[in-house]
Amino acid sequence: MKEVQDAYGRQVYDYLKRKDAWEIIERDDGFFGVSVGAKYYFSDYEKWPDREKKAIRFAKGRVLDIGCGARRISLYLQKKGFDVLGVDISPLAIRVCQLRGLRKAKLIPLTEISSSLGVFDTLIMFGGNFGLFGNPKRARWLLRRFYSMTPSKARILAESADPYKTDDPAHLQYHKLNRSSGKLSGQLRIRVRYRKYVTPYFEYLLVSKTEMQTILKQTGWRLMRTIYSDDPGYIAIIEKEP
């Protein structure tokens, strides 16, 4: 990733240096929205959403924090005595992790995560990071790879948001266009902007519980529990099939 493309990383780095920072999420149809802000990425456990507080209790053993960002999840688990590795595609995000005291942080794209990193008992994809799979085909490919690098009782704690829980005409029109081209309604193409920094467009996937269950079929994983909040977001507790 070039420096000018590291919009997320620059945002969290600036926030670490005592600057207010907000990212803009831009969809390929021109729709954009302002994120929750960098303050959320640094939040302590007490300020996490209830679903995250409940889901983190399912973490066990050695942990891989995928898309670790600033990284509140990794640091929380590290303080609890877990052996945790945080991985991210953003160079500055990894730098922030190191500056904040995360002992193990690695710059690596999602598609390059493999057994070369070791064996993990829990894979965490909070912050909507199930969306990083991008599309159902790539999700199944990566889930099978995750299967091969985890023991028999491994878990994935993955957060997504149900795209159908909206009445916004702009979202509903986008869903309709997706379905007309054979995609899931929640398959997005977006990029992140912060000041003069802009990421390339990338695929991002929002799925309902039913769609997630369909994606999991024949990957060796199954949905065991779903933890909801008042908003469309939810966390899936995913375990290996017997």
Q: With helix as H, strand as E and coil as C, how does 89-156 read? A: CCHHHHHHHHHCCCCCEEECCHHHCCHHHCCCCEEEECCCHHHHHCCHHHHHHHHHHHHHCCCCCCEE
Predicted local distance difference test score (pLDDT) of residue 166: 96
pTM over 0.85: yes
How many structural domains are present in the chain? 1
Residue (of 164, 223, 178, 188) closest to 31 by Cα position: 188
Mean pLDDT, rounded, of the chain? 96
At residue 233 the predicted structure's pLDDT band, cuts being 50, 70 and 90, is very high
Predicted local distance difference test score (pLDDT) of residue 36: 81
Residue 101 neighbours by CB distance under 10 Å: 10
Predicted local distance difference test score (pLDDT) of residue 1: 83
Torsion of CA 130, 149, 215, 158, to 10 degrees: -30
Predicted local distance difference test score (pLDDT) of residue 113: 97
Which one-letter DSSP state was computed for residue 201? P
At residue 238 the predicted structure's pLDDT band, cuts being 50, 70 and 90, is very high
Q: How many residues does the chain have?
A: 242
What is the rounded average pLDDT of the residues 63-81? Answer: 95
User: Who contacts 24 (Cβ-Cβ below 8 Å, separation ≥6)?
Assistant: 32, 33, 34, 35, 192, 193, 194
What is the rounded average pLDDT of the residues 65-77? Answer: 94
What is the rounded average pLDDT of the residues 109-131? Answer: 96
C-alpha distances (whole Å) from 10 to each of 3, 21, 39 are: 9, 9, 13
User: Who contacts 212 (Cβ-Cβ below 8 Å, separation ≥6)?
Assistant: 130, 158, 160, 223, 236
CATH of residue 12: 3.40.50.150
Question: What percent of the chain has a predicted confidence (pLDDT) above 70?
Answer: 100
Cα(173)–Cα(39) distance, integer angstroms:
32
Predicted local distance difference test score (pLDDT) of residue 51: 96
DSSP-assigned beta bridge partners for residue 51: none
What is the rounded average pLDDT of the residues 142-164? Answer: 97
Cα(242)–Cα(239) distance, integer angstroms:
9
Which one-letter DSSP state was computed for residue 177? H
Predicted local distance difference test score (pLDDT) of residue 204: 98
Torsion of CA 68, 116, 207, 156, to 10 degrees: -80
Structural domain harbouring 209 = 3-240
C-alpha distances (whole Å) from 116 to each of 113, 145, 219 are: 8, 11, 20
